[in-house]
């Protein structure tokens, strides 16, 4: 059995972005409970530690990582999503827009890009990958780093989410 690059990236990212929306919905509901100890405004600003990005930042990076893959190896025209989100509705819009971008990726185009050269520009210089290595060694781990951090921020603030929520079963 062969698993395609499209299956392990685009299909998974779309599923996980939908899961992320469900997790955030639980966060919103938590802020509206009687006796809630945190407001929506404070929850989106929550951080694990001072030098890490807040919940908004984590969602923006999940979005950027997945749409970056779609653009770098999926043949999608670059779409700028400015990091201007401040509220949960803004985050839901960002996630939905990202899903819409990912849905434009053609499986054949992405799967044909396994050997395509990808040059990622970072603060410390350029990193060269093949399309396959970019997906496996950068995009997937980076996506999950920020996804898990968003999940952890919700848990830290008391939102009742668990492993089955993380796995997208609820």
Nearest to 110 by CA among 134, 144, 137: 134
The low-confidence residues of the chain, meaning pLDDT below 70, are: none
- Enter the tokens of residue 44: 């989106």
The per-residue pLDDT for 90 is: 98
Each residue's pLDDT tens digit, 117-151: 999 998 999 999 999 999 999 999 999 999 999 99
Please check whether the domain covering 5-166 is classified as CATH 3.20.20.70.
no
List C-alpha distances in Å: 65 to 23, 28, 36, 74, 143: 19, 24, 33, 13, 6
d(CA 46, CA 53): 8
Which H or E element spans position 125?
strand 125-130
d(CA 139, CA 136): 6
The per-residue pLDDT for 143 is: 99
Nearest to 106 by CA among 1, 4, 17: 4
Q: What is the pTM of this model?
A: 0.95
What mean pLDDT, rounded, does the chain reach? Answer: 96
d(CA 89, CA 95): 10
The per-residue pLDDT for 35 is: 87
Residue pointed to by tokens 């779409």: 79
Residue 53 region, left (φ>0) first, then alpha (ψ -120 to 50), else beta? beta
């Amino acid at each position: 059995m062969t698993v395609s690059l499209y299956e392990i990236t685009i299909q998974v990212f779309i599923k996980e972005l939908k899961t992320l929306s469900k997790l955030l919905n639980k966060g919103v509901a938590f802020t509206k409970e009687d006796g809630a100890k945190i407001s929506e405004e404070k929850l989106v600003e929550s951080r694990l530690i001072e030098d890490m990005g807040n919940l908004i930042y984590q969602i923006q990076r999940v979005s950027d990582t997945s749409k970056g893959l779609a653009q770098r190896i999926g043949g999608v025209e670059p779409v700028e999503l400015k990091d201007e989100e401040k509220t949960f509705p803004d985050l839901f819009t960002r996630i939905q827009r990202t899903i819409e971008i990912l849905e434009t990726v053609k499986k054949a185009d992405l799967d044909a890009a396994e050997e395509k050269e990808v040059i990622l520009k970072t603060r410390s210089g350029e990193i060269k990958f093949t399309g396959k290595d970019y997906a496996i060694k950068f995009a997937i781990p980076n996506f999950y780093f920020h996804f898990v951090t968003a999940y952890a921020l919700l848990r830290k603030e008391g939102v009742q989410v668990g492993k089955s929520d993380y796995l997208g079963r609820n």
